[in-house]
């Protein structure tokens, strides 16, 4: 017997192939899954306090912590058009600016010493103040939470901090191509004049005062307008009693908050291109208005968008794009929001050269998708994705609480999620095709592309769409001017007349052209950089600048409207910040400024005249009141991050009857930037604009 | 999806802690075992909801990339989603043949290109043949089957990431799909098929464009690392060099898998509504047959001592970022917990010195943060400061202010209130994570891999509690020195400097 077994074993071994035997894995389809245990849906206790605030409590003993949040019916949709950013700043400064009894800094220390937090914010359609505490500190943290919610102090220094931070946000908003595409797509579809589509700007921030924040808070933060949710390690009755006591004295009332503004659902089709020349990848987005979560067809649309673009890997568009290697980042969504139309969007990033091809691929897939119902397998797959992950909606008690409060806030039924689940189960392939045809409108698509147009491979004109260029220039604040009255304006004009006379009078005003050749020494952080600068000017507003620097020559030309720049790295038409810089330089040119006198001249005292161009530029010229000769010119350069520029005139020289600065210093942001010395000056030497415009 | 470790993840402090009694209570829910082939499992039971999270950590990252193949660890991670012998093919035998043909044609093409006098016509012909070979292999593919099975079965948070030190694969499933996860995870590492490799290579190349070439901040970080590390592979980001990506071959990814994706070099953590006995049985069935192999060698290159400040600039139109990095030792060094405390003092919440000084008081930075353990922690690395200057403020101003803060922590010991605050914050931070399946699976696998025991996650609290103000000052003085410093920042392109 024994031998036999051995022999059999040997025979079996001999019959095996030489390679190591592979332990086969069972086919996926053969796997059997036990039924999923029922989810436990925790019970939420709901009541209204005497002051009208609605409260939701959930006991959750998993961890020794307590957390909660208040939802307030407000939002940046209520920003006044001239003070965009108000809601956002109010949300920030409520916490940063401290409360009546504690400064923001004191609150920071108090809370962080006990590993707690209180945070506030106001988004598009709600305000939120939240807290998180270890169980033993519940009372102390609830106290701070209530103070931030009901009695913020909005201290002035933190109003300024929020303004500064927001301005830096504006200055940085065009640094990320993906971010630009998302913002511009949304802004364009909703309309840039709509609270859903406008952007915060320097000048809207500048108009916001502490009083505005106080008023905004007062208008929207009142008990009847507030929902409060608390969950964690506590007894419900004890927490209820605690909240009743804590909020007993918060009894302020305000008229009911109006509805949020309506969305103007006018389609805004076309191709919108934002040139960003420092990237080698294009970000594109195409889409139009989506719908609301409680639309009857929302479940079918959700299944539709899952099949079309849900997964970057297995959706129709994900596959078509990724399988061609066009993009890492690709995806889409039937956008639905609680209370207004969301955005249906498909978008991604692809190397510049593939821009056209990627967009074309998306168009073709869309067309294909709409022309036939999805396969049964696709439908099943999309439903499985939604239904099999359903359990994750209930994997923590906090999710249940947060969902209930959100439904209450937007007026949705408590069982909305189960209605949705049932509706998804019932979706058919024919329904998917029906909603695709009914809701996707290729003729209404807004296309946004951010990238380097010169590298797009095929020009996007091949898409046959009306093209609009997106101007990414960040709007600079209108110059803040000093108060003027008839007397100060008269005195300003008189002093400027005197200066004009001192600098050459009719010779100055009659200038036809001017050439200045200068030696410039630039303080370049430690070392000095020597440059030769040649400025040529032809009346009324043509300018050519040549700068010879150690690393090459920079030339620029400007004719009052546009121009070009040429550097060792290449040449480009003036646009965006560069154009702005040249426009500013043209106005702040001492000679034309004094000759023209600007649109207004307002005397500020101590020999200083504020000269404006009637729009957004203003310069302060300080002159020797006895002689009228200029001493310094101060203005804000705003092409980049705004910075104060000051020209100090140390010496003038007569050039054919015109006084020309022969030695001057330039300061930027209070720091010495350059010394300039005149080598040669010429006036009326017969220059003409056309000559100046010639590229070397 | 399938991303490189985001900066925030890389910079998350490694340590957090709890008291000893919490560890005892917690330990009761943990089961550990090691298969005969060396693969280690950590199982955390949590039965509140019928869900489970999985975290597979492979102790190989971009530091293990070979010269000329930078980014290959990341490329393999992408290929781990491309299917297996039994998933993703319409006909495996035909597909294998077609895949072999691609490699054969590609070999010929490379040979033709390498000739001293390349034959242009022949190269073009071979390029066309390669395209055709790829197309005929693609005909056998059921694209994205592997991912689709996961997604359709209820996968949540499906993702993977490649960092400098390690590669990790993570996902959560409804608890009844436990066996499905074992079936898929074992399959992808045991029987992968490198299909659609050259298209995925383009996708990876696109990811590089997104993360660094079209992203001024990503580009600056790359430059910072290259300047700080001259020998150690921390000098290259996990994305690798563009030209390396463009030349990957299937054999490169396969070689990487063979060497590093071995049981002794992996750890798996599972947290949720599972029965540890069932987990053990499934591990035996699906992972025990994975052949044992020796633990691969770690990186032997030791970064030469830095003996002077280094500065590096990147020209960019974008608003600038400033990075300042000082050399610091690896996570297993005794000073690691002191760095954790120091980090809390400098950059914790709204009371951290950087926020208070640079953002709140001087209003010169939009944001300022630190990273203790950058770009990784397995080998000596950097303690890094970064800041975004406010509009109108210069990098120079912010850099100077940063040094005043740094000199401050060197000059005098931190006050007791601050020290206590940082310790309390660390403790509370871990308590708050205990409830998260995904978070705990990640923590336990990471601590096991780094320190040989997940308990270190809890024990580190005792060590942090012992850190004194004098320790903090000593570490600041010892490591924040100009000699080992590297500074990187954006400057405006020269043509527009004026």
Q: What is the ipTM of this complex?
A: 0.90
Q: Is the pLDDT of residue A19 over 50?
A: no
Q: Is the pLDDT of residue A688 over 90?
A: no
- The model's pLDDT over A311-361, given as tens digits with 9 standing for 90+, comes to 887 899 998 998 787 877 889 999 999 999 999 999 999 999 999 999 999
Q: What pLDDT is recorded for position B16?
A: 32
- The model's pLDDT over B99-115, given as tens digits with 9 standing for 90+, comes to 999 999 999 999 999 99
- The model's pLDDT over A410-463, given as tens digits with 9 standing for 90+, comes to 999 999 999 999 999 999 999 999 999 999 999 999 999 999 999 998 899 999
Mean pLDDT of A192-214: 95
Q: What pLDDT is recorded for position A31?
A: 96
Q: Where are the beta strands (DSSP E) in A343-443?
A: 343-351
Mention every residue, 6+ apart, whose C-beta is less than 8 A from residue A638. A476, A477, A580, A584
> Which candidate from B180, B318, B421 shows the least CB-CB separation from A113?
B421
Report the sign of the C-alpha dihedral through residues A440, A446, A447, A449, in that order: negative
- The model's pLDDT over A547-600, given as tens digits with 9 standing for 90+, comes to 888 878 888 888 888 888 888 777 877 776 677 777 788 888 888 889 888 888
Q: A326 vs B202: CB contact, 8 Å cut-off?
A: yes
Mention every residue, 6+ apart, whose C-beta is less than 8 A from residue A511. A539, A591, A595, A658, A683, A684
Of the listed ranges A282-296, A453-467, A530-544, B274-288, the least confidently predicted one is: A530-544
Establish if A540 touches chain B: CB-CB under 8 angstroms: no
Establish if A106 touches chain B: CB-CB under 8 angstroms: no
In angstroms, the CA A660 to CA A683 distance is 10
In angstroms, the CA B5 to CA B164 distance is 9
Q: Which of residues 608-647 of A touch B (CB under 8 A)?
A: 640-643
The mean of the pLDDT values for chain A is 90
> Which candidate from B179, B200, B420 shows the least CB-CB separation from A31?
B179
10 Å CB burial of residue A387 (0-12, 13-18, 19+) is middle
Strand partners, A600: A612
Q: Is the pLDDT of residue A198 over 70?
A: yes
Greatest pairwise CA separation for chain B in angstroms: 76
CA distances from B28 to A3, B115, B395 (A): 50, 66, 52
Q: A25 vs B391: CB contact, 8 Å cut-off?
A: no
Q: Are B197 and B41 in contact (CB under 8 A)?
A: no
Q: What pLDDT is recorded for position A526?
A: 63
Measured from the Cβ of residue A413, the count of other Cβ atoms closer than 10 Å reads 10
Mean pLDDT of A261-284: 94
- The model's pLDDT over B338-351, given as tens digits with 9 standing for 90+, comes to 999 999 999 999 99
Q: Describe the strand order of the beta sheet including A467-469 as a list of residue ranges.
A: A327-333, A343-351, A281-289, A446-451, A270-275, A467-469
Give the rounded percent of residues in chain A with a pLDDT score beyond 70: 95
In angstroms, the CA A556 to CA A639 distance is 15
Q: What pLDDT is recorded for position B12?
A: 33
Q: What pLDDT is recorded for position B453?
A: 96
Establish if A424 touches chain B: CB-CB under 8 angstroms: no
Q: A328 vs B203: CB contact, 8 Å cut-off?
A: yes
pLDDT band, residue B497 (cuts 50/70/90):
very low
In angstroms, the CA B91 to CA B110 distance is 29
- The model's pLDDT over A106-119, given as tens digits with 9 standing for 90+, comes to 999 999 999 999 99
Measured from the Cβ of residue B13, the count of other Cβ atoms closer than 10 Å reads 19
Q: Are A181 and A350 in contact (CB under 8 A)?
A: no
Q: What pLDDT is recorded for position A571?
A: 80
Chain centroid to Cα A259, Å, comes to 25
Mean pLDDT of A246-253: 97
CA distances from A542 to A509, A694, B160 (A): 16, 12, 58
Q: Is the pLDDT of residue B10 over 60?
A: no
In angstroms, the CA A141 to CA A610 distance is 52
Q: B176 vs A326: CB contact, 8 Å cut-off?
A: no
In angstroms, the CA A107 to CA B350 distance is 10
Q: Is A451 in a helix, a strand, or coil?
A: strand
Of the listed ranges A438-442, A493-497, B85-89, B136-140, the least confidently predicted one is: A493-497
Chain B CB contacts of A396 under 8 Å are 49, 435
Residue B275 or residue A618, greater confidence:
B275
Specify the residue for token string 């303080």.
A523
A175 CA to chain B: closest CA distance, Å?
5
pLDDT band, residue A23 (cuts 50/70/90):
low
Q: Is the pLDDT of residue A292 over 90?
A: yes
Q: B87 vs A394: CB contact, 8 Å cut-off?
A: no
Of the listed ranges A231-235, A406-410, A686-690, B177-181, the least confidently predicted one is: A686-690
Report the sign of the C-alpha dihedral through residues A135, A139, A142, A144, in that order: negative
- What proportions of chain A, in percent to the nearest 5, are helix, strand and coil? 40, 30, 35
Of the listed ranges A438-442, A513-517, A671-675, the least confidently predicted one is: A671-675
Chain A CB contacts of B148 under 8 Å are 311, 313-314, 381
- The model's pLDDT over A31-70, given as tens digits with 9 standing for 90+, comes to 999 999 988 889 999 999 999 999 999 999 989 999 999 9
Q: A39 vs B49: CB contact, 8 Å cut-off?
A: yes
Q: What pLDDT is recorded for position A22?
A: 56
Closest CA to B26 of B327, B271, B361, B344: B271
Q: What pLDDT is recorded for position B392?
A: 85
The mean of the pLDDT values for chain B is 93
In angstroms, the CA A678 to CA A146 distance is 66
Q: What pLDDT is recorded for position B20?
A: 52
In angstroms, the CA A545 to CA A392 distance is 64
Q: What pLDDT is recorded for position A598?
A: 82
Q: Is the pLDDT of residue B8 over 70?
A: no
Chain B CB contacts of A569 under 8 Å are 493, 495
Q: Where are the beta strands (DSSP E) in A106-223?
A: 117-122, 127-134
Q: B154 vs A389: CB contact, 8 Å cut-off?
A: yes
pLDDT band, residue A481 (cuts 50/70/90):
low
């Amino acid at each position: 017997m024994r031998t036999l077994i051995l022999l059999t074993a040997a025979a079996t071994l001999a019959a095996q192939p030489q390679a190591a035997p592979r332990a086969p894995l069972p086919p996926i389809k053969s796997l059997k899954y036990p039924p999923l245990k029922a989810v436990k849906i925790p019970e939420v206790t709901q009541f209204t306090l005497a002051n009208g605030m609605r409260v939701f409590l959930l006991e959750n003993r998993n961890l020794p912590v307590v957390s909660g949040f208040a939802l307030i019916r407000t939002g940046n949709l209520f920003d006044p058009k001239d003070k965009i950013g108000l809601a956002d700043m109010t949300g920030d400064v409520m916490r940063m600016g401290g409360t009546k009894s504690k400064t923001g800094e004191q609150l920071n220390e108090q809370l962080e010493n006990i590993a707690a937090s209180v945070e506030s914010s106001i988004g598009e359609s709600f305000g939120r103040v939240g807290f998180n505490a270890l169980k033993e500190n519940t009372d102390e943290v609830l106290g701070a939470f209530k103070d931030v919610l009901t009695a913020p102090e909005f201290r002035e220094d933190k109003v300024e901090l929020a303004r500064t931070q927001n301005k830096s946000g504006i200055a940085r908003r065009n640094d990320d191509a993906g971010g630009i595409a998302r913002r511009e797509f949304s802004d364009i579809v909703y309309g840039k004049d709509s609270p859903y589509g406008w952007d915060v700007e320097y000048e809207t921030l500048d108009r916001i005062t502490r009083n505005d924040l106080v008023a905004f808070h007062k208008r929207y933060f009142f008990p009847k307008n507030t929902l409060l949710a608390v969950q964690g390690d506590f007894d419900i009755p004890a927490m209820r009693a605690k909240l009743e006591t804590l909020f007993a004295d918060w009894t302020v009332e305000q008229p009911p908050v109006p509805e949020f503004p309506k969305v103007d659902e006018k389609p805004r089709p076309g191709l919108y291109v934002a040139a960003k020349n420092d990237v080698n990848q294009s970000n594109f987005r195409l889409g139009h208005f989506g719908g609301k979560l409680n639309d009857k067809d929302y479940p079918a649309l959700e299944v539709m968008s899952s099949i079309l673009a849900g997964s970057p890997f297995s959706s129709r568009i994900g596959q078509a794009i990724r399988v061609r290697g066009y993009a890492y980042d690709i995806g889409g969504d039937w956008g639905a929001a609680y209370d207004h139309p969301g955005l249906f969007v498909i978008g991604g990033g692809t190397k510049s050269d593939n821009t056209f091809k990627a967009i074309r691929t998306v168009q073709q897939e869309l067309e294909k998708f709409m022309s036939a119902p999805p396969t049964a397998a696709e439908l099943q797959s999309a439903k499985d994705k939604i239904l099999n992950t359903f359990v994750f909606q209930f994997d923590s008690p906090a999710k249940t609480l947060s969902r209930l409060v959100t439904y209450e806030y937007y007026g949705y039924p408590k069982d909305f999620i189960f209605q949705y689940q049932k509706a998804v189960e019932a979706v058919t392939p024919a329904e998917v095709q029906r909603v695709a045809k009914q809701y996707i409108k290729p003729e209404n698509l807004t296309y946004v592309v951010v990238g380097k147009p010169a590298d797009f491979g095929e020009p996007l004109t091949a898409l046959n769409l009306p093209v609009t260029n997106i101007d990414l220039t960040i709007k600079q604040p209108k110059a803040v001017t000093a108060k003027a009255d008839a007397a100060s304006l008269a005195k300003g004009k008189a002093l400027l007349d005197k200066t004009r006379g001192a600098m050459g009078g009719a010779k100055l005003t009659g200038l036809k052209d001017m050439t200045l050749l200068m030696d410039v020494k630039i303080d370049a952080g430690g070392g000095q950089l020597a440059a030769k600068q040649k400025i040529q000017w032809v009346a009324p507003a043509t300018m050519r600048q040549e700068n010879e620097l150690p690393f090459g020559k920079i030339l620029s030309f400007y004719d009052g409207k546009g121009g070009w720049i040429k550097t060792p790295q290449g040449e480009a038409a003036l646009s965006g910040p560069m154009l702005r810089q040249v426009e500013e330089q043209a106005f702040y040119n001492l000679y034309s400024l004094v000759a023209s006198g600007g649109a207004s001249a307002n005397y500020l005292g101590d020999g200083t005249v504020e000269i404006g161009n009637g729009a957004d530029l203003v310069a302060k010229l300080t002159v020797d009141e006895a002689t009228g000769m200029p001493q310094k010119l101060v203005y804000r350069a705003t092409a980049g991050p705004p910075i104060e520029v000051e020209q100090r005139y140390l010496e003038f020289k007569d050039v054919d009857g015109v006084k020309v600065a022969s030695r001057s210093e330039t300061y930027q942001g209070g720091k010495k930037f350059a010394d300039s010395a005149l080598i040669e000056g010429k006036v009326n030497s017969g220059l003409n604009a056309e000559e100046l415009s010639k590229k070397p | 999806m399938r991303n490189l470790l985001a900066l925030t993840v890389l910079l998350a402090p490694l340590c957090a802690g709890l008291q000893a009694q919490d560890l005892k209570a917690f330990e009761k829910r943990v089961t550990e075992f090691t298969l005969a082939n060396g693969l280690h499992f950590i199982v955390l039971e949590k039965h509140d909801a019928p869900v489970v999270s999985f975290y597979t950590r492979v102790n190989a990252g971009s530091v293990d990339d070979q010269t000329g193949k930078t980014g290959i660890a990341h490329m393999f991670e992408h290929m781990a989603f491309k299917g297996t012998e039994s998933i993703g093919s319409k006909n495996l035998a035909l597909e294998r043949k077609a895949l072999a043909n691609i490699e054969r044609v590609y070999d010929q093409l490379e040979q033709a290109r390498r000739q001293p006098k390349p034959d242009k016509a022949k190269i073009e012909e071979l390029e066309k043949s390669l395209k055709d070979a790829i197309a005929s292999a693609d005909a056998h593919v059921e694209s994205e089957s592997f991912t689709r099975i996961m997604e359709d079965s209820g996968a949540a948070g499906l993702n993977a990431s490649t960092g400098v030190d390690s590669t990790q694969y993570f996902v959560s499933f409804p608890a009844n799909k436990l066996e499905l996860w074992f079936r898929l995870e074992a399959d992808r590492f045991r029987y992968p098929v490198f299909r659609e490799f050259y298209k995925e290579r383009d996708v990876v190349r696109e990811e590089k464009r997104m993360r660094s070439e079209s992203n001024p901040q990503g580009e600056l970080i790359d430059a910072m690392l290259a300047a700080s590390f001259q020998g150690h592979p921390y000098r290259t980001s996990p994305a690798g060099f563009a030209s390396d990506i463009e030349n990957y071959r299937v054999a490169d990814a396969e070689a990487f898998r063979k060497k590093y994706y071995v049981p002794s070099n992996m750890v798996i953590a599972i947290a949720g509504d599972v029965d540890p006995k069932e987990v053990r049985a499934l591990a035996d069935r699906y992972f025990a047959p994975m052949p044992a192999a020796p633990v691969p060698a770690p990186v032997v290159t030791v970064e030469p001592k830095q003996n002077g400040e280094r500065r590096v600039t990147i020209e960019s139109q974008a608003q600038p970022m400033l990075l300042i990095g000082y050399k610091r030792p690896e996570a297993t060094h005794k000073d690691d917990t002191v760095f954790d405390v120091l980090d809390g003092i400098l950059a914790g919440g709204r009371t951290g010195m950087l926020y208070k000084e640079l953002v709140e008081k001087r209003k010169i930075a939009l944001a300022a943060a630190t990273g203790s353990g950058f770009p990784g922690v397995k080998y000596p690395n950097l303690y890094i400061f970064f800041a975004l200057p406010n509009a109108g403020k210069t990098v120079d101003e912010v850099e100077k202010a940063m040094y005043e803060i740094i000199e401050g922590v060197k000059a005098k010991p931190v006050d007791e209130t601050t020290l206590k605050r940082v310790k309390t914050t660390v403790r509370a931070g871990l308590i708050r994570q205990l409830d998260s399946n995904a978070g705990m699976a990640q923590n336990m696998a990471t601590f096991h891999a780094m320190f040989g025991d997940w308990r270190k996650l809890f024990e580190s609290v005792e060590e942090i509690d012992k850190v004194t103000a004098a320790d903090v000052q000593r570490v600041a003085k010892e490591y924040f020195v100009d000699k080992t410093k590297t500074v990187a920042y954006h400057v405006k392109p020269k043509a527009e400097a004026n």
